[in-house]
Amino acid sequence: MFVQVIQGQVADAARMRAQLDKWVAEVAPGSTGWLGSTAGVSDDGTLVALARFESEAAAQHNSDRPEQTAWWTETAELFSDEPQFHNSSAVDVDTPGDPSRAGFVQVMQGRTTNPDRARELMSDDSFDWASFRPDILGSVSVEHDGDAWTMALYFTSEEEAREGEKKEPPEEIAEMMKEMDTLSVGEPVYLDIREPWLYAPG
């Protein structure tokens, strides 16, 4: 899988959503290998979008289409700063539930001193996250730009996510979280998407 993360400041979330709706209706039908997108705007006006493709080649094929170029020319005008792009094939997807039912998405971003170890910890199936946090419907983790990462966590609702944050983790998960903290460079950034826009083919 290949993921492109796009983010930047926007002044009008409704116009941006309309533009993404337009992509799904008019551009997506001719795309190759598009698997879905998650997007939304946080309280501080930051748009973050994760577009998933089967491969980097499929994403590039889409980018090279004139329809995509025309759509992006319009979309770029909606940003109040220069949007950032993070592209990667180092992607992990976990779906213990149905992320398409998510009522709240939290996007986390940070840097790590050891990307390989961080990925090993996050992909360890021995941790029973489903029992500990049944409010988590799924996650998409993306390593990019060397030591950076972006993770989207899909929750049933913000209320249940906040309740889940208060729970005391079992020992093995607590140890894993402690090691993750030691690998972190600085504090991670949290972008709360209270009205997630979830798109899928068809």
Query: How far apart are the C-alpha atoms of 87 and 18, rounded to whole Å?
Result: 24
Question: Which one-letter amino acid corresponds to residue 52?
Answer: R
The DSSP secondary-structure symbol of 34 reads E
- Residue 179 tokens read as 């090691």
Question: Cβ(200)–Cβ(101) under 8 Å?
Answer: no
Residue 3 CB contacts under 8 Å (≥ 6 apart), including other chains: 50, 51, 52, 53, 87, 88, 89, 91, 140, 142
Residue 186 in this model has a pLDDT that exceeds 80 = yes
CATH of domain 2-88: 3.30.70.100
CATH 3.30.70.100 assigned to 91-193: yes
Which helix (H) or strand (E) segment is 172 a member of?
Answer: helix 171-183
Among 39, 3, 46, which residue's Cα sits nearest to residue 22? 39
Any idea how long the chain is?
202
Q: Give per-residue pLDDT as tens, 147-161.
A: 999 999 999 999 999
Beta-carbon count within 10 A of 23 CB: 20
Q: Give per-residue pLDDT as tens, 101-146.
A: 999 999 999 999 998 898 888 777 776 777 888 999 999 999 998 8
CATH 3.30.70.100 domain range(s) in the chain: 2-88, 91-193
Q: What is the mean pLDDT of residues 53-66?
A: 96
Question: What value, to the nearest 5°, has the Cα angle with vertex 104 and ends 101 and 110?
Answer: 120
Q: Give per-residue pLDDT as tens, 18-34.
A: 999 999 999 999 999 99
**In DSSP terms, which residues pair with 51 in a beta bridge?**
4, 37
